[in-house]
Amino acid sequence: MKALNILELDSLVEAIEAFGEAELQTAIVSDRDFAFRFHGAEKSFWLCLDMNPQAPVVVLLDYLPIKFAKKKSPLGLFVEAHFVGASLTAAKRLPQFGRVLELHFNEDKSMQLRLFPHGQNLILNSSEKKISLQRSAELEEIDEEFEPTEVRSLAEVGRLWLEKRGATSERSEQKKSSVDTRVGAIKKLRKSLKKLEVEAESKKQQPWRLAGQWLASHQTLVGAPSELTVCFDQEQSFSWNLENCFARAKKTELKLQTILERKSELEEQLTKIEGLTDEQYIEEQKGHQKPQSFKLQTKQPVKTRKLELGSGATVFVGKSAKDNLQLLRKARAWDYWLHIKDVPSAHAIVFRNKGQQISESELNQAAKFLLQTTKSSNQDSLISQSAEVLLAEKRYVQPIKGDKHGRVTHRNAKTLNIKV
C-alpha cells in the first residue's frame, strides 16, 4: 500500500475537524500500531496509525474490525496518563514540512504524526514532558509541495489498509452478520406480534362474562342463547355455574391484559430496532447482554424450582421445608426472601449481585412464580383472588432454631399485592 500523499492528508484533517471537539476514550498501543477511539458530540470514530517504515499510514474508521496486540511500553503508559480523557480541539497539517500532522488537545497537549517513509515518528507533548516512538530529528522545510494527480478517498484508504492487514473478509462477514442479526430480530418480533394478536382476539371472543351476566339477570340455566350455553355445565347447580362463569371471565380478562401488555412491549422493541442501523444494533446488543445466572451450590442435595429474571437475577423456590431451610442458609445478606403472607408456603430466594437493583415488575414476577409453585393447601383458593407476599432482604430473616417446618422470624418486610 502506498503512503498517504499531501492531498489525502488534507482530506483526513478536514474529516477530523468536522467531528468538532472529541474526547479520547480508548488508546491501544502496540509495537508500531496505534488505535485511538474518540467520542464526539454525535458519533465515535477510530484513528488508526500504522508506522510501517516503507509506508506509514493513518486511517479514519467508524469502528475497529481488527485486533491489536496491546503491549505495555513507556509510550503507551504516557498516552494513558496524559491523553486518555483529553479532548481533541484541532487538527492540522504542517505544509512547510509536507506529510506531518498535528493533533492538538486541551491543556497544551499535542501529538505530531510524521508520515514520510523511513522518517516515520509519533511525538507526544504534554506540558513540559515529551516522548516519541523513536529518536526525534529536526524537521527540514521543503521548498515546494508536489501535488499528486491520483487522490484516494478516505474510505478507499481504509479499505486498502484493512485488506493489507487481512481484515477485509472479517469486516464484510461482521457487517453481514450484523445485518442478519438485526433482520432476524425484526422477523422474530413480527412473528411474535402476529401470534399475540391471534391470542388476544381469541380471548376477546370468549363469552364467559356475558354468560355470567345472563345467569345473574335470569336466575336460571334454562332459555339461554346457544352461544352462551357452551359455558354451562348442566350437571352442576345454578350457583356453581354462576360462580364458575365469573371466575373464568376474570381469569380470561387477566390473561388478555397480560397479552396486550406484552404486545405493547414488543411493538416498542420493534419500532426501536427498525430505527437503528446495523452497527447501532450490534452496539445495543453488546450493552444489554444477559448476565450469567446464579448457580446454586450446596453441600447437601436441594430440590428447587428455578426462574431466571431478565436482569440476570435468579429465583429459587424450595420443594420442601428442608429445601427451604437450605436455600435460606445459602442466601447472602443482600438477597431477597419472599413468602406468602399468613399462609403456609414455600420460601423463594432472589439471588442477585451485591448492589444490583431489581425492578418492581421483576419482584412481582418472582412473587407470582412463588404463588404458582407453592404446595400450600390454600393454593387453589389463591388462584382466583389476589394474594399478599412478604418481601425482605435475607439479613432481616432468621430461621427458628429446632423448627422442622422451616418457619422463620422476619422484620422490615414489605408486602406485595399480587393478582393471580
List pLDDT tens digits, range 144-168.
Answer: 667 677 888 888 898 888 888 876 4
Q: Which of 218-227, 256-265, 321-330 has the lowest mean pLDDT?
A: 321-330
> What value does the mean pLDDT take over residues 138-145?
80
- How do 121-126 and 129-132 pair as beta strands? antiparallel
* DSSP 8-state code for residue 28: E
* DSSP 8-state code for residue 95: T
Nearest to 40, CA basis, from 64, 10, 15, 6: 15
User: What residue ranges do the domains of the chain occupy?
Assistant: 6-166, 173-287, 304-419
Query: Would you identify the CATH topology of the domain 6-166?
Result: ibrinogen binding protein from staphylococcus aureus fold (2.30.310)
pTM flag (> 0.85): no
In one letter, which amino acid is 60? L
Cα separations in angstroms, 219 against 215, 234, 237, 285 = 5, 14, 11, 58
Q: How far, in Å, CA of 101 to CA of 122, rounded?
A: 10
> What value does the mean pLDDT take over residues 193-203?
92
Q: Which three cell numbers stand for residue 145?
A: 509541495
pLDDT digits (tens, 9 = 90+) for 71-94: 888 998 999 989 998 999 999 999
Q: Which three cell numbers stand for residue 231?
A: 359455558
Q: Which residue has the higher pLDDT, 188 or 242?
A: 242
> Strand ranges (DSSP E) for 40-81?
44-50, 57-61
pLDDT digits (tens, 9 = 90+) for 371-402: 888 754 444 454 446 788 999 999 999 988 87
Confidence of residue 263 (pLDDT cuts 50, 70, 90): very high
Q: How far, in Å, CA of 404 to CA of 49, rounded?
A: 69
Quick one: pLDDT at residue 281? 79
Q: Which three cell numbers stand for residue 103?
A: 493533533
Q: How many residues does the chain have?
A: 420
pLDDT digits (tens, 9 = 90+) for 338-374: 999 888 888 999 999 888 889 998 999 999 988 888 7
Q: Which three cell numbers stand for residue 323?
A: 429445601
Quick one: pLDDT at residue 43? 78
Name residues whose C-beta falls within 8 Å of residue 117's C-beta, 6 or more positions apart in sequence: 3, 53, 54, 55, 56
Q: How far, in Å, CA of 251 to CA of 271, rounded?
A: 31
Q: What is the mean pLDDT of the chain?
A: 85
Confidence of residue 294 (pLDDT cuts 50, 70, 90): low
Quick one: pLDDT at residue 224? 92
Confidence of residue 297 (pLDDT cuts 50, 70, 90): low
pLDDT digits (tens, 9 = 90+) for 201-258: 999 999 999 999 999 999 999 999 999 999 999 999 999 999 999 999 999 999 999 8
Taking a C-beta distance cutoff of 8 angstroms, is the pair 221, 238 a contact?
A: yes
> What value does the mean pLDDT take over residues 2-7?
87
Q: Which helix (H) or strand (E) holds 265?
A: helix 238-274
